[in-house]
Structure 1
Amino acid sequence: MVKKKIVFLISIILLISISLTTISATDNIDDEEIQTLNNINNLDLNNNEVQRLNSNSSSNNIKNFNSDNNDVQALNNLNDIDSNNIQTLNNADSNNVLKDSEGSFSDLQKLIDLNDDGTINLDKDYTYSPNDNLPEGIVIDGKTLTINGNGHTLNGLKLSRIFNILNSNVRLNDLNFINAYSENEGGAIYSEASTIIPHSLITKEMMEDVFI
């Protein structure tokens, strides 16, 4: 009987030991699985955060890129506007400013006023300037005068008559008259005197070319 009891006790002790070992192993496995799941969840959270940051970064980069492009386009537009304005100013200046090789109607008027019954030989073109204040043209009054143009051009810029001749004997030789203008007769030349115009050319006039 004593042996049977001893064997029974030993068997119970072994069963208890095996059970405890199994429970401990199960607990360890459960802890490892929980830790693994936690790591996976943390990884997912980190990936989501990275994805969100990447999305925000990409969005910001796109916005910044678009903003930069808009700034560049705006600067290009300003440059185009500046270029157009400069070109417009240059065109306006070229229409109003005399070239170095040109004289003004006022210059030619002085030559005529200072000449007493003789001859004037032109060595340059003459162009009307708003500062000339000669809308009725260069005045020849009470003179006997020959003007040899030598192929040069008198340009009224569609703002002025070119010659206004009164009480004179005038010969206008080898001249080109262009862009003359008058609201009355004689767009290029108005004459109430003896006027001869050999070898001269009148073009782009407004109103009647010559009134004698």
Structure 2
Amino acid sequence: MKTIEYRKDATVFSSHEKAAESYDFILEETKAKHVFYLNEICQETLLSAKARGTGISSRPPELLEKKMREGEAVIAITRDGRWAGFAFISSWENGKYVSNSGLIVAPEFRHTGLAKKIKRKIFELSRKKYPEALIFSLTTGLAVMKMNHELGFEPVTYAELPNDELFWENCKSCINCPVLLSKDRKNCLCTAMLYDSKKNGSAVSDF
């Protein structure tokens, strides 16, 4: 049985999977205190990119620290204080677009359903902070594509993404960047997906 308890600024999920162990996660919008976990998040993101051999663009620690302090990220920790997962948002073109990025789960807590909970939480944060924005996601991962689809995202062409040069600068640290540049930024190995709040209204698929 899964139990969900709502707090003022955090959501606590009890995840009971087929695995022998069950975990109790606290998901919340980040604050300054969460910078404590920054190095671990950055290291695991890098290791994951190398292990998968797929497109994960790195972000400077300074940027992620800023996101954490400004509450533009979601973090998952265990009851005993271990970091379990993370994701962040960024706005582009004066808030016209907002991206859901950097979803990472610590190896110990993968296959527990935590990624889906983080994805839902970061999506809710995006809608709260930027209610009129087009929310988008770029990914090579089938699991993330499925989560996006369940939330109401639809596949789009790269022409429907921001024109902001800083956004595209972030792709330079991705292993697939040469493919992107060879196609004049019109296509790459990542699938672009977009959520339009005007089209979807307030309805959100059950997760």
Write 1 or 2 for the structure with the bigger share of helix: 1
State the TM-score, normalizing by the size of structure 1. 0.22
- Give 1 or 2 for the bigger CA radius of gyration: 1
Q: Which has the higher contact order (CA 8 A, sep 6+)?
A: 2
State the TM-score, normalizing by the size of structure 2. 0.22
